[in-house]
């Protein structure tokens, strides 16, 4: 005969077991909790930090709206999907938006018709859900460095109008030559995972960006930016905005690119220069950037669309990803493409004077950083800091938890094509390996379930990864034999 106390204890134990089985942490939650805990241990600031950072050259005020809501307000209905290098009609806007929406890929296109673009902006401004934020890759990088590294002195050069000047932190130094009378305005059409447009349901949360401006589109601030370096004494240079020049005629694009290259050649060799790419559509323009600009920068940041397009236009590996990719690309294929970039555009027998020593790939679900280890260290901390920030910023929280974010990578994968498939261990979320003299580090993103804001993630991630990286200022490009 069982005692009443024993029966009571059994009932409590069975109740606790049932609760934990149905309501307790799942195996996936435990993996995510392990990742968060391990990041805390892994991430360490470099022993030698960047103290003076110069940032340029694109800036604007971002109008952020739900993309489908704006299309509905413009009486645009779902239709065909097609990519257009630039936009000049509502039908091209619809087709290009629909294409990248169906893929869940971020994209950016220039809007050539100024009058129609103003009409679209007015429709966006009339929506109750519209929000205004700091915009432009360079301005976003400056803002993120300012917020995360308050002891770092920042100088920003870009077209800063009255609205943007109010939004920028006072701690960011803006030379008088950078101030303009009127803000450039960019339109950010966001969408959430599971949103439907016609017959398409987007697989991830992302955004489509369009704009029509003059200063950014002609990179008018390039000369001002490089002139401003003379008195600032930067130990790190962050550059972005080249994609905005896609609206230029080919000869003018080449001229502005030459101004950039001349400016980069004037930056002292001990000062690293990071270039952040953004979505482009013109093959010859991107090819020009790869060939003429990459050998003059130390570090490159890019996402899945940009790396796939780069590989496609320059005969790199896995070219099928550019037009055939749906969702997130396989980890080993991205690793192969990073190696290709470092071999092709970094120091090699063909490019004996290239400065390129670092590539930071970032996507919704994972990041990989590849470096020449004699130039960059603390790479594991840098990739972990970037992936951790991605989840925090998307969820708009200071601390992540397993309840608000998901792990989207497969639990079995290869790190590069010749690798053997391995099982992911949440207690070791940063994986590193060496190939052909280059060092690589990988870490997954905990993807926010209900993202508050997707725009600017890549810029924030890249700038954070850079500030957690340690650069050897004594590094010199090897002399050709």
CA distance 231 to 173: 13
**Helix segments in 24-89, DSSP class H:** 27-42, 67-73
CA distance 223 to 218: 12
The DSSP code for 246 is: G
Q: Say what the pLDDT of residue 348 is.
A: 67
Q: Are 338 and 442 in contact (CB under 8 A)?
A: no
**Structure tokens, 78:** 């779902």
Q: Give residues with Cβ within 8 angstroms of 75, minimum separation 6.
A: none
Please say if 459 is a catalytic residue.
Answer: yes
Phi-psi region of 241 (alpha: psi -120 to 50; beta: other; left: phi over 0): left
Q: Say what the pLDDT of residue 395 is.
A: 92
- Point out the residues of the chain with pLDDT beneath 70: 1-25, 324-326, 348-352, 453-455, 478-481
Residue 201 located in a structural domain: no
The DSSP code for 58 is: -
CA distance 64 to 190: 7
**Structure tokens, 236:** 């790190």
CA distance 36 to 406: 12
CA distance 459 to 475: 25
If one counts every other C-beta atom within 10 angstroms of the C-beta of residue 44, the result is 12
Q: Say what the pLDDT of residue 47 is.
A: 92
CATH, residue 372: 3.40.1190.20
Residue 466 located in a structural domain: yes
DSSP codes of every residue in 116-167 = HHHHHHHHHHTSTT-EEEEESHHHHHHHHHHHH-TTSEEEEES-B-HHHHHH
Q: Say what the pLDDT of residue 11 is.
A: 54
**CA separation (Å) from 32 to 39, 260, 388?**
11, 43, 12
Digit-coded pLDDT (tens) for 438-471: 999 999 999 999 887 666 788 899 999 999 999 9
156 phi and psi, to 5 degrees? -120, 135
Q: Say what the pLDDT of residue 89 is.
A: 97
Q: Are 240 and 135 in contact (CB under 8 A)?
A: no
Q: Give residues with Cβ within 8 angstroms of 424, minimum separation 6.
A: 31, 409, 410, 411, 412, 413, 444
Which structural domain, as residue segments, surrounds residue 380? 26-46+248-481
Residue 349 located in a structural domain: yes
Q: Are 67 and 200 in contact (CB under 8 A)?
A: no
Q: What is the pTM of this model?
A: 0.84
Residue 448 located in a structural domain: yes
Say which residue the tokens 């920042």 belong to.
154
CA distance 152 to 207: 30
Digit-coded pLDDT (tens) for 121-133: 999 999 999 999 9
Residue 97 located in a structural domain: no
Out of 60, 62, 235, 459, pick the active-site residue. Answer: 459
* DSSP-assigned beta bridge partners for residue 238: 55, 274
Q: Report the number of distinct structural domains present in the chain.
A: 1
Residue 186 located in a structural domain: no
Give the burial string for 328-365 (b: 16+ CB within 10 Å, else e): bbebbbbbbbbbbbbbbbbbeeebeebbbbbbbbbbbb
Question: Looking at beta carbons, which pairs linking 413-422 to residues 24 or more positions away fall under 8 Å?
Answer: 413/330, 413/331, 413/332, 414/330, 414/331, 414/332, 415/331, 415/332, 415/335, 415/440, 415/442, 416/332, 416/335, 416/336, 416/339, 417/332, 417/333, 417/335, 417/336, 419/332
Q: Say what the pLDDT of residue 476 is.
A: 79
Residue 296 located in a structural domain: yes
Digit-coded pLDDT (tens) for 293-339: 999 999 999 999 999 999 999 999 998 888 766 678 899 999 999 99
Residue 109 located in a structural domain: no
First to last CA, the chain: 91
* Segment holding 441, helix H or strand E: strand 438-444
* DSSP-assigned beta bridge partners for residue 432: 441
Q: Say what the pLDDT of residue 279 is.
A: 85
Q: Say what the pLDDT of residue 25 is.
A: 63
């Amino acid at each position: 005969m069982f005692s009443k106390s024993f029966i009571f204890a059994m009932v409590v134990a069975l109740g606790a077991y049932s609760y934990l089985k149905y309501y307790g942490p799942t195996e996936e939650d435990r993996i995510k909790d392990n990742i968060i805990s391990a990041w805390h241990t892994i991430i360490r600031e470099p022993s030698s930090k960047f103290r003076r950072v110069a940032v340029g050259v694109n800036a604007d005020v971002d109008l952020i709206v739900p993309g489908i809501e704006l299309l509905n307000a413009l009486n645009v209905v779902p239709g065909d999907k097609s990519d257009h290098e630039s936009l000049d009609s509502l039908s091209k806007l619809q087709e290009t938006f629909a294409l990248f929406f169906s893929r869940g890929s971020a994209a950016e296109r220039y809007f050539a018709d100024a009058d129609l673009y103003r009409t679209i902006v007015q429709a966006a401004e009339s929506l109750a859900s519209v929000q205004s934020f700091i915009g432009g890759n360079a301005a976003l990088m400056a803002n993120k460095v300012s917020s995360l590294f308050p002891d770092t002195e920042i100088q920003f050069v870009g077209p800063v109008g009255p609205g943007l000047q109010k939004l920028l932190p006072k701690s960011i130094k803006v030379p008088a030559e950078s101030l303009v009378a009127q803000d450039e305005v960019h339109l950010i059409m966001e969408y959430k995972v599971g949103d439907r447009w016609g017959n398409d349901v987007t697989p991830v949360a992302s955004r489509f960006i369009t704009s029509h401006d003059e200063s950014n589109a002609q990179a008018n601030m390039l000369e001002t930016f490089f002139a401003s370096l003379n008195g600032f004494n930067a130990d790190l240079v962050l550059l972005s905005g080249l994609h905005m020049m896609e609206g230029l005629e080919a000869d003018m694009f080449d001229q502005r690119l030459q101004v950039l290259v001349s400016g980069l050649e004037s930056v002292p060799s001990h000062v690293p220069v990071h270039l952040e790419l953004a979505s482009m559509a013109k093959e010859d323009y991107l090819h020009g950037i790869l060939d003429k600009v990459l050998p003059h920068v130390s570090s490159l940041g890019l996402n899945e669309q940009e790396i796939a397009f780069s590989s496609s236009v320059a005969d790199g590996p896995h070219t099928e990803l550019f037009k055939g990719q749906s969702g997130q690309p396989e980890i080993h294929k991205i690793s192969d493409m990073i190696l290709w970039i470092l071999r092709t555009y970094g120091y090699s027998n063909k490019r004996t004077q290239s400065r390129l020593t670092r590539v930071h790939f970032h996507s919704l679900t994972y990041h990989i950083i590849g470096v020449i280890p004699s130039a960059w260290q603390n790479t594991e901390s840098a990739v972990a800091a970037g992936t951790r920030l991605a989840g925090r910023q998307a969820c708009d929280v200071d601390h992540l938890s397993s309840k608000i974010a998901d792990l989207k990578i497969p639990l079995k994968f290869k790190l590069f094509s010749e690798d053997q498939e391995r099982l992911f261990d949440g207690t070791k979320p940063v994986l590193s390996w060496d190939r052909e003299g280059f060092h690589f580090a990988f870490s997954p993103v905990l993807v926010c379930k209900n993202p508050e804001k997707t725009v600017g993630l890549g810029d924030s991630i890249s700038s954070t990864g850079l500030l957690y990286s340690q650069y050897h200022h004594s590094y010199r490009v090897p002399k050709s034999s």
